[in-house]
Amino acid sequence: MPRWLGEPMTDALIVAARRTPIGTAGRRLAGVTAAELAATVVRAAADDVGQAPSEVILGNCMGPGGNVARVAALAAGLPVDVAALTVDRQCASGLAAIELGARLVSAGSGPVVAGGVESASTAPWRFWPPRGDSPPLRYERAPFAPRADDVDMGLSADLLAQECGVTRQRQDAYAAESHARAVLAAARGEFAEEIVPVDGVAADERPRAGLTAERLARFPAAFRSGGSVTVGNSCGINDGAAAVGILPGSAPEAIGRPALRVIGAASVGVAPGRPGLALVPAVRAAMSEAGVSVADLDVIEFNEAFAGQVLACYDALAIDPSRACTAGGALALGHPWGASGAVLVVRLFTQLVRQGRGRYGLAAIAAGGGQGTALVVETCR
């Protein structure tokens, strides 16, 4: 009998995990649409699994609509009877898609390919319709919350850093370290097995060598006078996609295969004015379901939207920042919104499965509107 979706997971195995290089908006991946980016990793994940999935689930925030997951599945050459679903939990969309896919598999579905995609470069322009004599009004993003609580992410991160006592110096030092870690990881080939080249691009564009805290200290505040958040200690605007293949643990194709077992997942809401903190209760809920503590974790991947925001979350969870994002995070690699949560899981797969760095891993991300998603995995061989 299939189990209810809310029950603890024991039977969902991530057996494949791939991503595109992460491009800077307007640069080398600027001509590749969201569906085309997604098709690349959907095809790669399905090939790695060794069979077509029963369903493709992709997160996306700013694409053209029309069910990007379905377009990507068809563009990837999957059979027409493979169902597809696009989900939007803003920046948490990719990780939420994997959570949903894992719960479906654990409840008795067939194999699932899940992940996320974003092409900031090709995102369509959006307009509110005309009202009376007023012309159509172009807007950059949809509302995150009712108007009174709809705070921009940069401003909310700046206010959060101030409220949590995260200094400008600490933010700049952390951002510089993220770039240094990413540059070193790329040089030693850590990303090679997880990246699927796109249009001849095979490496992430954003990481910068020699980006020191002293250089970052020269940037002015970006979101409010006297603030501490700058373009230097914030993520970029990026293009990219990531996907994982999920099999039932009882499937013959999964038996004896190195994989990540999904043992806990949660999506939680908080007050929309401080969305960056939302990953904190999500992490606590996911770890509770998994029955693990921070001390048990071998690999930790948090989305680094803003240095101040992620440092505030580390502090709240009593996580030493030196333990997290050890090959760099979104500050260096980039933040392709709908894909970023799935990128975190690809990074877990590389470190825990491909490199054998331990047993337990955690991925977590916050999203506009005050939501957070977290996923806990266990290595099985």
- Convert the pLDDT of each residue in 129-159 to its tens digit: 999 999 999 998 889 999 888 989 999 999 9
Assign 315 to helix, strand or coil. helix
Q: Could you tell me which residues come within 8 angstroms of residue 255 by beta carbon, excluding any fewer than 6 positions away?
A: none
Q: What angle do CA 253, 257, 258 make, to 5 degrees?
A: 145
Residue 250's pLDDT is 80
**Alpha helices for 61-167 (secondary structure H):** 68-75, 93-106, 153-164
Q: And the tokens for 206?
A: 């954003």
Percentage of the chain exceeding pLDDT 90: 92
Residue 5's pLDDT is 43
**Please, what is the average pLDDT of the chain?**
95
Q: Could you tell me which residues come within 8 angstroms of residue 188 by beta carbon, excluding any fewer than 6 positions away?
A: none
Whether 296 shows a pLDDT value over 50: the answer reads yes
Strand runs (DSSP E) across 249-298, as ranges?
A: 259-269
DSSP H or E segment with residue 316: helix 307-317
Find out whether 118 and 337 touch, Cβ atoms under 8 Å: yes
- As beta bridge partners, residue 365 has 373
Length of the chain: 381
Core vs surface per residue 196-210: b (16+ CB within 10 A) or e: bebeebeebbbbeee
Find out whether 354 and 193 touch, Cβ atoms under 8 Å: yes
Whether 344 shows a pLDDT value over 80: the answer reads yes
Assessment of whether the complete model's pTM goes beyond 0.85: yes
Residue 4's pLDDT is 37
Residue 254's pLDDT is 75
- Convert the pLDDT of each residue in 37-74 to its tens digit: 999 999 999 999 999 999 999 999 999 999 999 999 99
- Convert the pLDDT of each residue in 80-135 to its tens digit: 999 999 999 999 999 999 999 999 999 999 999 999 999 999 999 999 999 999 99
Whose structure tokens read 């060794």?
50
Q: Could you tell me which residues come within 8 angstroms of residue 347 by beta carbon, excluding any fewer than 6 positions away?
A: 194, 299, 301, 327, 363
- Closest-CA residue to 105 (of 258, 283, 292, 260): 260
Find out whether 234 and 331 touch, Cβ atoms under 8 Å: yes
* Local confidence band at 234 (pLDDT 50, 70, 90 cut-offs): very high
Distance CA 173, CA 314 (A): 15
CA Rg value for the chain: 19
Residue 249's pLDDT is 86
Assign 172 to helix, strand or coil. helix
More confident residue, 284 or 254: 284
Q: And the tokens for 293?
A: 């503590």
Q: Which domains does the chain have, with CATH numbers?
A: 1-123+144-381 (3.40.47.10)
Assign 17 to helix, strand or coil. strand
Assign 200 to helix, strand or coil. coil
Whose structure tokens read 């977290």?
374
- Closest-CA residue to 353 (of 296, 272, 298, 294): 298
Whether 9 shows a pLDDT value over 70: the answer reads no
Whether 10 shows a pLDDT value over 80: the answer reads no
Distance CA 100, CA 368 (A): 19
Calculate helix-pair angle for 337-349, 93-106, nearest 10 degrees: 60
Whether 224 shows a pLDDT value over 80: the answer reads yes
Q: Concatenated DSSP letters for 30-57?
A: TTS-HHHHHHHHHHHHHHHHTS--SEEE
Whether 253 shows a pLDDT value over 90: the answer reads no
Which residue numbers are catalytic? 91, 335
- Convert the pLDDT of each residue in 302-340 to its tens digit: 999 999 999 999 999 999 999 999 999 999 999 999 999
Question: Exposed, middle or buried by CB within 10 Å (0-12, 13-18, 19+), for 298?
Answer: middle
Query: What CA–CA distances, in Å, run from 65 to 60, 68, 88, 123, 326?
Result: 9, 6, 10, 10, 35
Residue 2's pLDDT is 34
Assign 1 to helix, strand or coil. coil
Distance CA 324, CA 364 (A): 11
